[in-house]
Amino acid sequence: MYPWEAVKPSQDSTLRIIHEAVKRGHEVAITHPSNLTIRDSVTLSHCKTVVKTEKTTSNIPSFYKAIQFQMEMRRLDDFDIIFMRDNPPLDSLMLNFLDSIKDDVFIINAVDGLREANNKIYPAAYHDPDRELIPATHVSKNIDYLLRIIKESPNDKMILKPLDGYGGSGVIIVEKSAMQSVRSLLDFYINREKGISNYVILQDYIEGAEQGDVRILMLNGEPIGALRRIPPQGDLRSNISAGGSVAKYKLTKSDKILCMKIGEKLVRDGIYYAGLDLINGKLIEINVLSPGTITDINRLNKVKLQEKIIDYLETVLKRKNQFKTDFRPHELIDHATVVN
């Protein structure tokens, strides 16, 4: 996960998953990509293992404040489950460390799934010829091509964002009325690092984007919770980290159809836990690394989504133990394991 010191206890989703696992008596350890190592062909990591206590407080900020760790080097194949909760961008080398254990430990999300789905190209490549699910999306680092796309667009404005951004960083509106500045803007986004050119995403602007988006949390291909994120006045971005607010949201019939179609692909690709971002019923992004909003969905709906998540992981572990010989985690996952 991201650094423990960076956790905001009143809001953090990862902390709620950890708390639920500890409360149920599971042994929990946290580590970071920089702590991974290989010794004698064994993948290990410097871990902070949570020291068990007789009673776990139900107050999560108090739990965070009181928690104690034991520092130790541990084999990663000694764990039953590894939950990936690091912030984007993904350290692709980290996945090479995990390749050696991916057939022995259930990794959520799967190594190969993260390789495929860890950036914004993943939803852009989804087959949707009639654009029923996803707005027209272009991914490129060719400035002349992107300028042509903007000029030929039937709409007056489009959305521009960096491929590796997260939390709403770098998302802007490009308007035809300001075309004289667009080349300079594209050059800044694409060539912001000396000697390295970066991909950007150009996407059709969806009417209603100024009113915010919908975040849906998906567990094993099914929606388990949702909310509406509302941008602050004068800002396009509705991400909570960018100052957006939240409101209760009930999935529509078309939302559920989209979740079903996207969910099937997610599970097939080894993406068992993800956050979908929708605007006016269209899929904009899929967050597969550390989707948040658990705390806000809990508060708005008087639920505890972390219970469903740990229920699901316990179900996976139970099935894993039933198939101890030739265990392949991805072969055990189907919609029957979803917690309702």
CATH number (domain holding residue 286) = 3.30.470.20
Q: Looking at the domain assignment, is residue 34 inside a domain?
A: yes
Contacts with 145 (C-beta within 8 Å, 6 or more apart), sequence order: 138
Q: Check if the beta carbon of residue 250 is closer than 8 Å to that of residue 262.
A: no
Report whether pLDDT(133) > 80.
yes
Q: How far apart are CA 186 and CA 205, in angstroms?
A: 17
Kindly state whether residues 156 and 251 are assigned to the same domain: no
Q: Looking at the domain assignment, is residue 290 inside a domain?
A: yes
Per residue in 60-76, pLDDT tens?
999 999 999 999 999 99
pLDDT at 331: 55
Contacts with 176 (C-beta within 8 Å, 6 or more apart), sequence order: 150, 151, 153, 156, 157
Kindly state whether residues 215 and 200 are assigned to the same domain: no
Per residue in 25-35, pLDDT tens?
999 999 999 99
Q: Looking at the domain assignment, is residue 19 inside a domain?
A: yes
Q: Average pLDDT of 224-228?
A: 97
Kind plus residue range of the DSSP H or E element containing 283? strand 282-287
| CATH number of the domain within which 80 lies | 3.40.50.20
Q: Average pLDDT of 194-213?
A: 87
Q: Looking at the domain assignment, is residue 107 inside a domain?
A: yes
> Phi and psi dihedrals of 124, rounded to 5?
-65, -30
Residues linked to residue 279 through DSSP beta bridges, in sequence order? 282
The DSSP bridge pattern shows strands 106-108 and 81-83 to be parallel
Among 204, 221, 249, give the residue marking a domain's end: 204
Q: Average pLDDT of 226-239?
A: 74
Region of residue 152 (phi > 0: left; psi between -120 and 50: alpha; otherwise: beta): alpha
Kindly state whether residues 28 and 110 are assigned to the same domain: yes
| CATH number of the domain within which 195 lies | 3.30.1490.20
Residues linked to residue 213 through DSSP beta bridges, in sequence order? 229
Q: Give the largest Cα separation in the chain, rounded.
A: 66
Sequence letter at residue 202? L
Q: Looking at the domain assignment, is residue 243 inside a domain?
A: yes
The answer to whether the bond into 109 is cis (omega within 30° of 0) is yes
Among 63, 91, 118, give the residue marking a domain's end: 118
Kindly state whether residues 13 and 86 are assigned to the same domain: yes
Mean of the per-residue pLDDT values for the chain?
89
Per residue in 286-338, pLDDT tens?
999 999 999 999 999 999 999 999 999 999 999 888 876 555 555 555 544 44
Kindly state whether residues 74 and 151 are assigned to the same domain: no
Report whether pLDDT(339) > 50.
no
Q: Looking at the domain assignment, is residue 263 inside a domain?
A: yes
Q: Looking at the domain assignment, is residue 73 inside a domain?
A: yes
Q: How far apart are CA 332 and CA 337, in angstroms?
A: 9
| Domain around 100 | 4-118
Q: How far is CA 30 from the centre of its chain?
A: 18
Q: Looking at the domain assignment, is residue 330 inside a domain?
A: no
Indicate the pLDDT class of residue 340, thresholds 50, 70 and 90. very low
Residues linked to residue 72 through DSSP beta bridges, in sequence order? 47
Domain total in the chain: 3
pLDDT at 235: 55
pLDDT at 207: 84
Indicate the pLDDT class of residue 232, thresholds 50, 70 and 90. confident
Question: Both ends of the chain: CA-CA distance in Å?
Answer: 27
